[in-house]
Amino acid sequence: MVKELHKRGYGNLRVIPFISPTGLTWRCELIDIKKQNETLAASRWIESKRNGNMQVEINLSPKELADLFIKENIDFLEPCKGKSDEYEKWYSQMVENLTENELPHAFDTSDYFFPTDYWLTTENKKINTLPEG
């Protein structure tokens, strides 16, 4: 969905993926690089589409999810408009290199932060980050 949002001009939107303290769930925050103190819990937003039922599968395409996300979160997204070619290219390649059930995470919330030059995946692969992290 974020890759689709980047295509639609929200290039200042960044992803902060992480593992919950229990290690049982993957979470994702979205942040506008211009207003780094404002985040949106994308994983909670996605869960809200399941109406609290973890067994419900979301069958929307990334484009359909992006349409719905824009509709429901336009106030958060508007300041994210802009272009960030280097990040957008990195993010797109990173997503394309993930396997079907593999998720990236910048850190886990058990107080362990990875070095800023890479993230890990749920398959324990390293993803090199951009120089600014």
- pTM (2 d.p.): 0.83
Q: Over its length of 133 residues, how does the chain's per-residue pLDDT go in tens digits? A: 999 999 999 999 999 898 888 777 888 889 988 776 678 888 788 888 777 666 777 788 999 999 999 999 999 999 999 999 999 999 999 999 999 989 999 876 655 555 568 888 989 899 999 876 4
Q: Is 25 within 8 Å of 111 (Cβ atoms)? A: no
Taken in order 55, 107, 96, 133, is the CA torsion positive or negative?
positive
Cα 28 to its chain centre, rounded Å, is 5
